[in-house]
Amino acid sequence: MGNFTNLITNVGPNTTLFQQEVDVIQAVVARVLDSFEPQPTQGTFILDGQKRGESAYCILRFNLEKGCCQLHEETSDDAAAGSIDDILAWPERLAYGYRSNPEYFGQLPSSIYMSIRRKVLVLNTTFGRFLVSFYANSPFPYVRQDMTLLMALAEAFAQMGKEDKILQRSVERVCASAISPDKDAIILVKHMFLDCEDDALRIWRDWHEPANQAGELTLFFE
């Protein structure tokens, strides 16, 4: 996995992800970042989970190898946290210009939401949602690396949660706007799960398949 710093994880029986799944997420982030040219060395990644009707909590948070970076008037730590907070404050506070739609039971539909200084992936599942934000020191015009990573991560969740039909449709919605670099990263992630050459992916496969067949696993947030 990547040389991440200030790593915080929250796994266990009271959270929706097991350690093997959190390790896979780190491996996917590291592999996708390695495919970038130039490779970012500073930045912030935050993954929150929220079961429907409950409060959100941090599942995974880390900085890149050289810590956070400065973005305009705030750090990448502040930008990533603020991006997720804006989603959690909705609908009491308008977020990203989106208004309530009964079709989604009052929830924001799955998408990558952006404003001038905010960027966040909302990935709905049957029983909850994942909220992900990532900012790095990608020099212009490579700033879309943030978007590419978020789409690649959506594909990773699709691979880990194939039984969740809502999640599958959410990923299709998020990745529908993928352009060439995004598609390359998505294919990269698909190959990671197909080949399982990375240690974290191999450990996850060897744990997930028997546990799933034994009925020991549920849908995310169930």
Q: Please give the Cα distance from 116 to 127 (Å, whole number).
A: 30
Tokens 């973005």: give the residue.
Answer: 71
Q: Please give the Cα distance from 26 to 16 (Å, whole number).
A: 16
Q: Please give the Cα distance from 207 to 209 (Å, whole number).
A: 6
pLDDT per position as a tens digit, 32-89: 999 998 889 999 999 999 999 899 999 999 999 999 999 888 999 999 999 999 888 8
Dihedral sign, Cα of residue 25, residue 30, residue 34, residue 36: positive
pLDDT at 212: 83
pLDDT at 137: 86
pLDDT at 14: 67
pLDDT band at 96 (very low <50, low <70, confident <90, very high): low
Q: How many other CB atoms sit within 10 Å of the CB of residue 152?
A: 28
Share of the chain above pLDDT 90, in %: 68
pLDDT at 103: 47
pLDDT per position as a tens digit, 132-179: 999 998 765 545 789 999 999 999 999 999 999 999 999 999 999 999
pLDDT at 123: 96
Domain ranges of the chain: 5-213
pLDDT at 1: 57
Which residues share a beta bridge with 51? 128
pLDDT at 15: 73
pLDDT at 104: 47
